[in-house]
Amino acid sequence: MKKLIVSTAALALTAGFALADDTVRLGTEGAYAPWNFVNDAGEIDGFERELGDELCKRAELTCTWVKNEWDSIIPNLVSGNYDAIIAGMSITAERDEVIDFTQAYTPPDPSAYAAMSADVDPAGGVVAAQATTIQAAFVAEQGWTLVEFATPEETVAAVKNGEADAVLADKSFLDTMVGADGLVMLERMEQIGGGVGMGIRESDGDLRAKFDAAIQSMKDDGTLNTMIAKWEVASQW
Amino acid sequence: MFSYCTDPSTLEGLSWLSCYLTTGKHMAFYQSFGIVLVLLAITAPVALMFGFAGATAARSRIWPVSLLGKSYTAIVRGVPDIAFFMFFVIALDQGFEYMRHKVKCPDWSEPVRQGNDFVVCAQAKLPLSTSPQWMHETYGFALAVLTFAIVFGAFAANVLFGAMKAVPHAQLETAEAYGMSSRQTFWRILVPQMWVYALPGLSNLWMILIKATPLLFLLGVEDIVYWARELGATKSAKFTEYPHGNWNAYYFGGLLVFYLMLTSISERVYKRLSLRLSHGQATAAGEAQRKAAT
């Protein structure tokens, strides 16, 4: 045991030669197209990849990307494993107690349902949603039967195999899923969430200010709207 | 990978498949098999060392040492794996960073705990945020090995503790009668004989360890199950050159074969080991061997 600790410490010390030049590590899920996903080459891609790279350029930061499971994405941010979450995370009061958010980079959009036929009524049925999302919280609040899954893909699969009657998720994500295997979008939508922003540690006010300014500049010159339109993630500002 | 892969939408059948199976993402998938095997190869001996230390400590005549060994096995075995992997690892990581922080940034005035946040100076980060991604991955991997070793070491300690007790007491008394010191008795008589009793328990642990490797992803190491899930997920034509439906069944079928192969090889190794360790032992299996030889 001692040996192990010593060798880990040795590894840690040899890692310490580089100077503390600020590299910002961006954490994302990588399983939520078109927001963020892993492309054929195995790299993180999508709206937020492009947005994050552009924001870092404007804020003159060097950024690297880190994949992290959705469930533990906030605990790993506060413990310092990366510096910002950029993973289609809606700004909610509950999350805001634990971390801080930049200003939203997409406007609040309604969440949509997808089901196997258009006349399914989600109220009173079984609704699938990804765990610890605003959609899961919404379904639970309504008192409907909620089935939660760790990944977005599984929520859709649950509807396809009949485990759930409908899935509630961001409309842009469901857009990429409907049409295949008889999955259709329901007309009913829910107005939940307060836009999507970057999650930053509460003690990291400087970084938040930098990203805030960068997002503002992208809003002002219209590049953010162009990017939103390109990836079809949300409505325009 | 291949020259004809530039426009996969025109390809069909085998040539499409050959391109599909050689994308960067699939390469990462293949590599993750190596990662899992390396993890097993490193963790198993380290966990055995932890177990041996734990069992020896638990048997110690010195009271605090024996208490330490016993509480290690009792506490770690009682904590659910998932809790261990979610919280213990973060705590371990923070512990290392805190120690480095104290050494490297003695002038730091702000508190390390700020509300929910854990903040250390940039030089104390582990690894540094400027270090390349592979370093972060190696560090995550090392944490994973350590955590697996602590968890499985506790189980192994219990198995070895039982095995040490199972060695017939007459053997130890005979050793003493021959004038061996207690250290000699331990290393020359007890340890060589206990393995045969420990083997069934240890082989169970090995099997469980094999199956526990998907917990790796909780530690930020991308293992085979993560990649299988990612690759098997529905891919729409907009985001990939290789669109397909939900192929989880194929990928997880592949994993099934991999795990079954691993366990079947382990079974065979186990049989040979147990044959070898029974040789000359005062057990039923050893007795049967002796009779067969004569």
**Consecutive 10-residue averages of pLDDT for chain A (237 residues):** 48 40 85 89 92 94 90 87 92 91 91 90 89 91 91 89 91 85 88 89 92 94 92 86
The pLDDT score that the predictor gives to residue B56 is 94
Q: The CATH number of the domain where B55 resides is what?
A: 1.10.3720.10
The pLDDT score that the predictor gives to residue B257 is 95
| Short-list B183, B206, B193, B189, CA closest to B163 | B193
Average pLDDT rounded to a whole number, residues B61-90:
88
A4–B149 C-beta distance less than 8 A: yes
Q: The CATH number of the domain where A81 resides is what?
A: 3.40.190.10
For residue A26, the chain B residue with the least C-alpha distance is B129
Closest partner residue to A202 among B28, B116, B233, by Cβ?
Answer: B116
Report yes or no on B22 lying in a domain.
no
> How far B285 CA lies from chain A's nearest CA (Å)?
35
Report yes or no on A175 lying in a domain.
yes
Report yes or no on B17 lying in a domain.
no
Report yes or no on A3 lying in a domain.
no
Percentage of residues in chain B with pLDDT exceeding 90? 47
Average pLDDT rounded to a whole number, residues B201-216:
90
* Rounded Cα–Cα distance for residues B155 and B204 (Å): 10
Asked if A75 and A128 sit in the same domain, the reply is no
B222–A80 C-beta distance less than 8 A: no
B122–A99 C-beta distance less than 8 A: no
Domain span including residue B183: 3-7+32-293
Report yes or no on B24 lying in a domain.
no
Number of domains in chain A: 2
Asked if A156 and A133 sit in the same domain, the reply is yes
Asked if A160 and A215 sit in the same domain, the reply is no
Report yes or no on A93 lying in a domain.
yes
Asked if A60 and A73 sit in the same domain, the reply is yes
Q: Which residues of B touch A41 (CB under 8 A)?
A: 23-25
Helix or strand (DSSP H, E) at A147: strand A145-149
Q: Which residues of B touch A177 (CB under 8 A)?
A: 234, 236
Report yes or no on A73 lying in a domain.
yes
In this structure, are residues A199 and A128 in contact, taking their beta carbons and an 8 Å threshold?
Answer: no
Question: Between A and B, how many residue pairs show a Cβ–Cβ distance under 8 A?
Answer: 140
Asked if A125 and A175 sit in the same domain, the reply is yes
Calculate the average pLDDT of chain B.
88
Asked if A134 and A207 sit in the same domain, the reply is no
The pLDDT score that the predictor gives to residue A21 is 52
Average pLDDT rounded to a whole number, residues B95-121:
84
Asked if A89 and A205 sit in the same domain, the reply is yes
A31–B233 C-beta distance less than 8 A: yes
For residue A200, the chain B residue with the least C-alpha distance is B117
For residue B215, the chain A residue with the least C-alpha distance is A69
For residue B42, the chain A residue with the least C-alpha distance is A4
Asked if A222 and A174 sit in the same domain, the reply is no
Q: What is the dihedral of CA B82, B88, B91, B97, to 10 degrees?
A: -110
* Rounded Cα–Cα distance for residues B42 and B250 (Å): 29
The pLDDT score that the predictor gives to residue A18 is 35
The interface predicted TM-score of the complex, written ipTM, equals 0.77
